[in-house]
Structures are given as C-alpha cells and as structure tokens.
C-alpha cells in the first residue's frame, strides 16, 4: 500500500463479481485503471454460473490482509457477497443497489 494521503492518491483495489457482473466490473476496472489505481482482479470474467462466495472471499481476504485498500464486489443481488464479506473479521461490507443494474438484470431474463 502506498503511504500517501489526500484526495488524489492512488490505491490498490481488489475487485470481484459473480456471473451477473463481468460487464460492470470491466467498466469500473477500466475507469479505476485510467485514474492510476492498481487493480487485483479476483474474477469472474465470464457469464457461466459461479459460486459467488469464492469471489467474495478473495476480495475480502485482500482487504483484510492489507493486500488491498479497497474492495469492490458486484453481484446480481448484492446480498450474498455482502454477507460473505461481512464474515471476514474486522471488515464491514455495505451494498448499494441501483436501478440501472435492476434494468440490466431484467433485460437478461
């Protein structure tokens, strides 16, 4: 981790998703990389059904061990990854659900 402080410092960011989120993860990753942040891609990168806890644990472990300063999890419902990440000691995972993601999910059904 870098020792700089301030609004414009770069961070190491761990990012992961279940099979509902690769497109959004790719967009977020590209944005963060363009801003100079280092990314730890914890998967998944495909649309095949996966077990979300595998990816949530990987991101939570990165943050919990100090390998990343921030973790981003993307999930079809958000609840599962938040509960999984919250099982990691000393971490608090909050979730957000946006109407744009709901519209995206509805269009895939």
Give the catalytic positions in this structure.
Answer: 75
- Structural domain boundaries in the chain: 12-108
Identify whether the C-beta of residue 12 lies closer than 8 Å to the C-beta of residue 42.
Answer: no
Predicted confidence (pLDDT) at residue 61 exceeds the cutoff of 90: yes
Query: Percent helix, strand and coil across the chain, each rounded to 5?
Result: 40, 15, 45
Q: What are the two backbone dihedrals, phi and then psi, of residue 53, each rounded to the nearest 5 degrees?
A: -60, -30
Give per-residue pLDDT as tens, 85-108.
888 887 787 766 655 555 544 444
Q: pTM for the whole thing?
A: 0.79
**High-pLDDT (> 90) share of the chain, %:** 43
User: Measured between alpha carbons, how far is 14 from 63 in angstroms, rounded to an integer?
Assistant: 7
Predicted confidence (pLDDT) at residue 7 exceeds the cutoff of 80: no
CATH class label, 12-108: alpha beta
The model's confidence at residue 50, banded by pLDDT at 50, 70 and 90, is confident
Mean pLDDT (the chain, rounded): 82
User: Measured between alpha carbons, how far is 93 from 85 in angstroms, rounded to an integer?
Assistant: 6
């Amino acid at each position: 981790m870098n020792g700089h402080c301030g609004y414009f410092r770069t961070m190491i960011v761990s990012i992961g998703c279940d099979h509902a989120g690769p497109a959004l993860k790719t967009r977020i990753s590209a944005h963060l990389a363009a801003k100079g942040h280092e990314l730890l891609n914890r998967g998944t990168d495909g649309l095949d059904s996966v077990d979300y806890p595998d990816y949530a644990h990987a991101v939570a472990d990165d943050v919990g061990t100090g390998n990343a300063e921030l973790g981003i999890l993307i999930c079809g419902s958000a609840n599962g990854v938040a509960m999984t990440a919250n099982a990691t000691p000393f971490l608090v995972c909050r979730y957000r659900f946006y109407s744009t993601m709901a519209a995206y999910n509805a269009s895939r059904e």
